[in-house]
Structure 1
Amino acid sequence: MGAFKAAKHYLKNTDLYLLFLALLCSAYGVVLVYSATRASGSSRYIMIQSLATVVGVAAFVIMSLIDLEAMSNWWKIFVVLNILLQLTLIPFGKWANGQRSWIEIANGAFSLQPAELGKLLFVFTFAAHLSEIREHVSEWRGILVLGLHTLLMMGAIVLSSKDTGMAIQYFMIALVMMFAAGLSYKWIGLGAVLGLLSVPVLWNFVFKDYQKNRILVLFDPSIDPNTAYQTTQGKIAIGSGQFWGQGLGNGAMTQMGIVPERRTDLIFSVAGEELGFVGCMAIIGLLLLLILRLMYVAFRGSTGFSSLLAVGICSMFLFQTFMNIFMVIGLLPVMGLTLPFFSYGGTSVVTMYAALGIAAGVRMREKPSWLQ
C-alpha cells in the first residue's frame, strides 16, 4: 500500500503533460524510424529506439525526484566532471563523417554521445552559476566568468569531437539563460555587433574550406554538389510529399535509400515525403506544445535556480528542434543535429526524457498557487 500511495502521490504532483507529449513524440518517431529502416530488413533500430524510450521514461522519473537545488553548491565539481566526460572521446571516441562524437559500447552494439549527456550537466551548472552571481550578471565581471564557463565547455566539445554544431547549441542555451537571468540589452547589442565584426576574421582565418562550403551551398548548391547532397535530397523528398504524402512506407526516395542519414538527422524529410505537409506540421505542433509547456514550467518555478533550470531545458529543445528542421530545409548548414524524440539515437532519446524529468521536478517543487 505504501508503494501504491507513493505512486499515486507522484502521479498527482508530477507534470504528466510533459510525459504525455514526450510519449506521443516517441510513438510517432518510432513509426518514422521503422519506415526509414524497413528496407534494411533489420528490426535492430526499432528495438533500440523502443528500449531507449523505456529507459528514458525511467530517467524522467528518477530525475524528477532529485532535488538539484540541494546539489547546486557543488556546481564547480560538475563542470570539471563534464569536461572530463567530453575528453573521454579523445582516447575512446569513434570517427564518423569528420567528427568523433560517439563511444561504442559492447563491440558497437550500443553507443554513447557524451555531448548529449553533457547538455544536462551544463544546464545544471550554468543555472547554479547564474543563481550565484545573479545580481552581477550584467556587470563585466559577471559576463567574463559566465563567458569563461561557456567557452570551457564549447572548447572541450570542439577539441574532443570537432562537433561545432553541438558547441553552438551550448552557446545558445547559455545566451538564453543569461537573458532570462536579467542580462542587460546593451550587452546583447554589443555581443551582436562584435559577432558581426568577427565574421570576416572567422571566415578568413578560422573556418576550413569544408566549413565554408557548407555555408556557400545554401545559396548555390552547384559550388560543391557533394556537400550540398544531403540537404538537396532532403528538400526534394519533402517537396515530393506535397500535402498528404506518398504514404507511410511508400516514399520512393526514403525506401530506395536516396535520402542520406534518413533515420537520424533527416528524419523530418521522411515525414515530409511519406506523410506530407500534414505529417511535418504534426511534428512541429507536438514539439511546439512541449516547448510552450516548458516555458510555463519556467514561469512557475519556485526559485530563481529552478526557473533557470527550466529555461535551460526549454532552450535546449527550442534550438535543437529548429536547427534540425532549418538544416533539413536548407536554411542552415548541415551540423549533424538530431530532431528530439523523432531521430534514431538512444543517447539522444534518454537525454531528452531526463531533461523533461528535470523540468517535471521543477514543477513538483513550485510554490502553491496561493503563494504565487
Structure 2
Amino acid sequence: MQLLSLLFSPIKEFWKKGDVILLGLCLATSTFGLALIFSATQYQNAPGQILNRSVVVQAIAIVLGVIAYVLLTFVDFQLFTEKRWKLMLFGSIALLLMILTPWGVERYGNRNWIQIPHFPMMLQPNEIVKIPFILILALLIIKIQDRGYSISSIPSVMQIGGFTVFTLGLIAAICGDMGTCCVYIMIFAFMAWTAGVKLRWFVLVGGGAVLAVVIFWLFFLPETRFWTDYRIMRFRVVFDHSLDPSNYGFQQTRSVLAIGSGKLFGQGYLKGIQTHASNSSALPVRDSDLIFAVCGEELGMVGCMALLLLLSGIVLRCIWVGRHASSPFNAYVCMGMAGMLLSQITFNVGMCLYVLPVMGLTLPFVSSGGSSIITLFAAMGIVSSVKARPMPSWLRDRSKV
C-alpha cells in the first residue's frame, strides 16, 4: 500500500496543480493527428500489414510526451533558467552543431535531423532548441527590466535582438531552414511585444530586413538567377498558381485539390483518393507537411474546423495561463510558447491553402515526427508548470484594483 501511495502521490499532485485542461487539449489534438497519420501512411503498408512504423513511433512519442508533460509540471523553470542558462545556451549550440557531424541527415533540401545509431527516431535540434531559446530570452528580458532600463531603449533592443539574431544565424548557417527561422522570429515578436517593445521597432526592423533582402537579391545575385532562384519561385507561385504547377507549385496544387475535393464532410475516413494513391497524382509528404490536406480530403471542412478549434484551444490556453502567471518571466514564457504554436499553425495551414509559400513547417501535434511531438508536450509541460505556481492571493487581490 505504501508503494502504491508513493506511485500515485505525484499523479494526485499533478491533478491538483497541473493544467489538466491543456493536457486534454494536447491529447485530443495528437490523437486526431495519429488517426490522420494512420490513414496517410496506409499506401506504404505491405499486404496484411495494419500499422505503419510512423504510426507506432508517433504513438510511443505521444506516451513519452505525456510523461514529460507531467514531470515538467513540477519544475520551477524561472529558478532553473536563472541557475542553468549557460548550460542551456551551450547545450543548444552543441545540439545544433551535431547536425554537421556524420549523424546529420538531410531531407527535403534541409539538414535538420540527427540520426543517432540504434536510436529508434531521428531528432530535430532546431525543434528542441526552441524551448531553451524561449526560456533564455524571457530571462534576458526580465534582467533588463530588473535593472530599471526601458525594454524599448536602444541598448535593450540590441541585447534581446542580438541574442535572437545569433540563434537565427546559427540555424540558417547549419540547417539552411528559413521556415524554422520565421518561427523563431515570431516567437521573438510575441515575447517582445508582451514585454512592451514599442511598435516603431517592429516597423523599423521589419522594413529594414525586407529592404536588405531585396538589395541582396537585386545586387548580389546574377540577374539571370534573380527571378528563377528557388526561394523567389516559392513566393512567385503563390501569386500565380499557373506559373509552375508541376514543380515549385506541385505540393500546394495537390493540397488545394485534395482540400477542395473534400467539400463539407469529406470523402470519408480512409477513403481519400489522393491520400491513398501511390502514383504521380498522389498527395506528397502527406503524413507531415500536408497532413492538413489529408484532413480536408477525408473529413471535409467540418473536420478541418474541428482540428483548427483544438489547435486554437491550445494557443488560447497558453495565453490564458500567461495572463494569470505569477511573474513576468512566466508570462513571457507562455506568450513565447503561444507564438511558437500560432506561427507554425498559420504557416502550415497557409501553405496547404496555397496562400503562403512552402516553408517545410509541420502542423503542431498533428504531423508525424517523434522528437517534434515530445518537444511540443514538453513545451506545454512548461506552461503547465506556470499554472501550477499561481500568483499569491495578496498579489491577485491587488492586481484587480
User: When the two structures are superposed, what TM-score results if normalisation uses the length of structure 1?
Assistant: 0.96
> 1:132 aligns to what?
143
Which residue of 119, 143, 148 maps to 2:157?
143
Identity %: 37
Tell me how far 1:72 sits from its aligned partner. Answer: 2.5
**1:185 to 2:199 alignment:** yes
Q: 1:331 is matched by which residue type in structure 2?
A: V
**1:85 to 2:104 alignment:** no
Q: From the superposition, tell whether residues 302 and 217 of structure 1 become closer, same or farther in structure 2 (CA, over 3 Å).
A: same
Cα distance in structure 2, aligned partners of 1:316 and 1:215: 22
Q: 2:117 is matched by which residue type in structure 1?
A: A
Tell me how far 1:71 sits from its aligned partner. Answer: 2.2
Q: From the superposition, tell whether residues 77 and 108 of structure 1 become closer, same or farther in structure 2 (CA, over 3 Å).
A: closer
Which residue of 102, 109, 112 maps to 2:113?
102
**1:116 to 2:140 alignment:** no
Q: 1:167 is matched by which residue type in structure 2?
A: C
> 1:39 aligns to what?
43
Structure-to-structure mapping, 1:1-372, within 5 angstroms? 1-41=5-45, 42-73=51-82, 74-91=84-101, 92-106=103-117, 109-134=120-145, 135-204=149-218, 205=220, 209-225=229-245, 226-257=247-278, 258-369=282-393, 371-372=395-396
Tell me how far 1:189 sits from its aligned partner. Answer: 2.7
The answer to whether the Cα contact below 8 Å between 1:76 and 1:125 also exists between their aligned partners in 2 is no
Q: Deviations over 1:213-268 (max 9, x none)?
A: 11101112333330100011001100000000000111101110410000000000
Task: Give the match's secondary structure for 1:221.
Answer: coil
Tell me how far 1:90 sits from its aligned partner. Answer: 1.1
Q: From the superposition, tell whether residues 307 and 322 of structure 1 become closer, same or farther in structure 2 (CA, over 3 Å).
A: same
In the comparison of the two structures, how many residue pairs are matched?
Answer: 372
Task: Give the match's secondary structure for 1:65.
Answer: coil
The answer to whether the Cα contact below 8 Å between 1:203 and 1:212 also exists between their aligned partners in 2 is no
Q: 2:236 is matched by which residue type in structure 1?
A: L
Gaps in structure 1 of 5+ consecutive residues: none
Tell me how far 1:322 sits from its aligned partner. Answer: 1.0
The answer to whether the Cα contact below 8 Å between 2:121 and 2:371 also exists between their aligned partners in 1 is no
Cα distance in structure 2, aligned partners of 1:79 and 1:21: 31
CA RMSD of aligned residues (A): 1.7
The answer to whether the Cα contact below 8 Å between 1:213 and 1:223 also exists between their aligned partners in 2 is no
> 2:48 aligns to what?
none
Task: Give the match's secondary structure for 1:105.
Answer: coil
Q: From the superposition, tell whether residues 305 and 327 of structure 1 become closer, same or farther in structure 2 (CA, over 3 Å).
A: same
Q: 1:78 is matched by which residue type in structure 2?
A: M
Tell me how far 1:145 sits from its aligned partner. Answer: 1.4
Q: Greater shift after overlay, 283-292 or 92-101?
A: 92-101
Task: Give the match's secondary structure for 2:242.
Answer: helix
Tell me how far 1:311 sits from its aligned partner. Answer: 0.8
The answer to whether the Cα contact below 8 Å between 2:295 and 2:303 also exists between their aligned partners in 1 is yes
Tell me how far 1:126 sits from its aligned partner. Answer: 0.7
Task: Give the match's secondary structure for 1:111.
Answer: coil
Q: 1:93 is matched by which residue type in structure 2?
A: G
Task: Judging by fraction of residues, say which structure has more helix.
Answer: 1
Q: Which has the larger radius of gyration?
A: 2
Cα distance in structure 1, aligned partners of 2:118 and 2:232: 35
Tell me how far 1:136 sits from its aligned partner. Answer: 3.1
Q: Greater shift after overlay, 267-276 or 177-186?
A: 177-186
Gaps in structure 2 of 5+ consecutive residues: 46-50, 397-401
Cα distance in structure 2, aligned partners of 1:133 and 1:355: 24
Q: Greater shift after overlay, 9-18 or 185-194?
A: 185-194
Cα distance in structure 1, aligned partners of 2:207 and 2:10: 53
Tell me how far 1:194 sits from its aligned partner. Answer: 2.2
Tell me how far 1:199 sits from its aligned partner. Answer: 4.5
The answer to whether the Cα contact below 8 Å between 2:14 and 2:73 also exists between their aligned partners in 1 is no
Cα distance in structure 1, aligned partners of 2:119 and 2:354: 32
Q: 1:71 is matched by which residue type in structure 2?
A: F
Task: Give the match's secondary structure for 1:24.
Answer: helix
> 2:399 aligns to what?
none
Task: Give the match's secondary structure for 2:113.
Answer: strand
Cα distance in structure 2, aligned partners of 1:76 and 1:177: 20
Q: Greater shift after overlay, 216-225 or 151-160?
A: 216-225
Q: Greater shift after overlay, 118-127 or 360-369?
A: 360-369
Q: 1:16 is matched by which residue type in structure 2?
A: V
Cα distance in structure 2, aligned partners of 1:202 and 1:288: 37
The answer to whether the Cα contact below 8 Å between 2:14 and 2:70 also exists between their aligned partners in 1 is no
Q: 1:96 is matched by which residue type in structure 2?
A: R
